[in-house]
Structure 1
Amino acid sequence: MLINADFSQMAVVKPNDYQWIKSPRGEVERVMLDRVGNETARATSLVRYAPQTMFPEHEHPLGEEILVLSGTFTENGHQHYPSGWYLRNPDGSKHTPSSENGTLIFVKLMQMSKDHTETIRINTQASENWKTIGQRLICPLYVSHNEHTYLEKLKPHQNFDEYSLKGIELLVIQGELIMNGETFPAGSWVRLPIQSSQHFYASAAGATLYVKTGHLSSAQNFVEQQS
């Protein structure tokens, strides 16, 4: 299965574009944002758990990254992560995910290398995890030689100053982002290819963004290996 799998092209999915698809056994519903592969896939998705949902224990080759967007996501029956928590499970990690009252999560699968070995848990709702860098308000999540992942809060009409020299991926968590007169409301996902340039700024509502840069070279390599 190939969805938005040409990483040399810009890709956009807005809430009006969502197509919710049930997982094979029906435990969850997914919006597939990009995907290379079938059930074992390099994938970026929104995943919706109904209340009282549980998956059996399973392993994640090349890791799993999760941002909890609403509700509470639970691991292994007792580790509870409400909205705003960022989770990073490295290559070969195992867990039993569930949700008592339902949750919506942003998930990236098989997008780490084997040398990304850290298990990370960050509460992005905690003010101490945010830093002011120049005019920018940033919550750092992960950085390596080929990836930089963070949240950023933009004030009303503030420019988004990251550039796409090595590829960039955005999820609008709150507020609205604008590019060339086009509005990207909360829930919009945008992926820009390597060495592309677009000018984004927040609307009058401001914006909170999930941002990942530097990772798309390895994505294109993955596609070529699957061909």
Structure 2
Amino acid sequence: MELNANFTRRTLIHAAQLPWIASPVAGIERRMLDRIGDEVARATSIVRYAPGSQFTAHVHGGGEEFLVLDGVFSDEHGDCPAGTYVRNPPTSHHTPGSRAGCTIFVKLWQFDPADRTPVRIASSERAYVPAPGQPGVEWLPLFRDQREEVRLERWAAGAEIVLACTAPLELLVLDGDFAECGDVLVAQSWLRLPAGASLRARVGPHGCRVWIKSGRFADAFIVPA
């Protein structure tokens, strides 16, 4: 299966308008954003856990990165309330589930194969700081290495945001809205831009909060066998 697999194009998906697709596990559903592969896949998805649902224990051969959007995600390493950012590197393993239900934004098989660095950040407990040279923008760094950078950004109401994509860039709207290229992006809108593109956004009257990843994630992924 290939879905939105051309990384040289601007790709915009309003995920909140997509139907939920059942996973092989009862009570766990997905909205697929991009995908290369079948059940084991290089994938970007929004995943919803019904209360009491749980995957069986498994190993992440290609790594897993996720942000909890609502509810509380749990595994043997602890509870992750909304706003928690997690990186489970290649060869890590866990038994994920949710007692009360939750929704997560998740990326699979998109790590450097040699990465062994686990990350778990409760973003609600950290402060945003003004972004240098970007009026109306505050950010909260989540992860950075030689390959990629991941952060949360908070955009002020009415701000004009310009981002030059020296590397591919991926963005998920968490709340609020902004207009870009004639489109209005709202919560769960997902945008991917290729290197060389520019993002020019006008933020809506209530401001906006976004998750952003930039770097070489487009050309250094693992394709599962």
TM range (shorter): over 0.9
1:126 matched residue in structure 2: 125
1:23-66 per-position Cα deviation (integer Å, ceiling 9, x unaligned): 12334100000000011111000000000111111010121001
1:185 matched residue in structure 2: 186
1:64-123 per-position Cα deviation (integer Å, ceiling 9, x unaligned): 0010000000012x6111101001111110000010010000000010112322111111
1:28 matched residue in structure 2: 28
Letter of the 1:66 counterpart: F
2:165 matched residue in structure 1: 164
Query: What is the identity percentage for the equivalent residue pairs of Structure 1 and Structure 2?
Result: 36
1:93 matched residue in structure 2: 92
Q: Is the 8 A contact 2:85 2:142 kept in 1?
A: yes
Letter of the 2:200 counterpart: H
Q: How far apart in 2 are the matches of 1:174 and 1:218?
A: 29
Residue correspondence of structure 1 range 139-150 to structure 2 within 5 A: 139-150=140-151
RMSD: 1.8
Q: Indicate yes or no: 2:111 matched with 1:112.
A: yes
Q: How far apart in 2 are the matches of 1:161 and 1:8?
A: 20
Q: 5+ residue gaps in structure 1?
A: none
Letter of the 2:184 counterpart: T
**SS at the partner of 1:39?**
coil
2:4 matched residue in structure 1: 4
Question: Residue 126 of structure 1: CA displacement?
Answer: 1.6
Q: How far apart in 1 are the matches of 2:100 and 2:91?
A: 28
Residue correspondence of structure 1 range 68-83 to structure 2 within 5 A: 68-76=68-76, 79-83=78-82
1:176 matched residue in structure 2: 177
Q: How far apart in 1 are the matches of 2:62 and 2:152?
A: 22
- What is the number of residues matched between the two proteins? 222
- Shift of the 122–200 alpha-carbon distance from structure 1 to 2, 3 Å rule, reads same
Q: 5+ residue gaps in structure 2?
A: none
1:194 matched residue in structure 2: 195
Judge which range, 143-152 or 109-118, deviates more: 109-118
Q: How far apart in 1 are the matches of 2:131 and 2:49?
A: 36
Q: What TM-score does the superposition give when structure 2 sets the normalisation length?
A: 0.92
Question: Residue 222 of structure 1: CA displacement?
Answer: 5.0
Letter of the 2:71 counterpart: G
2:14 matched residue in structure 1: 14
Q: How far apart in 1 are the matches of 2:25 and 2:112?
A: 29
Q: What TM-score does the superposition give when structure 1 sets the normalisation length?
A: 0.91
2:60 matched residue in structure 1: 60
Q: Indicate yes or no: 2:216 matched with 1:215.
A: yes
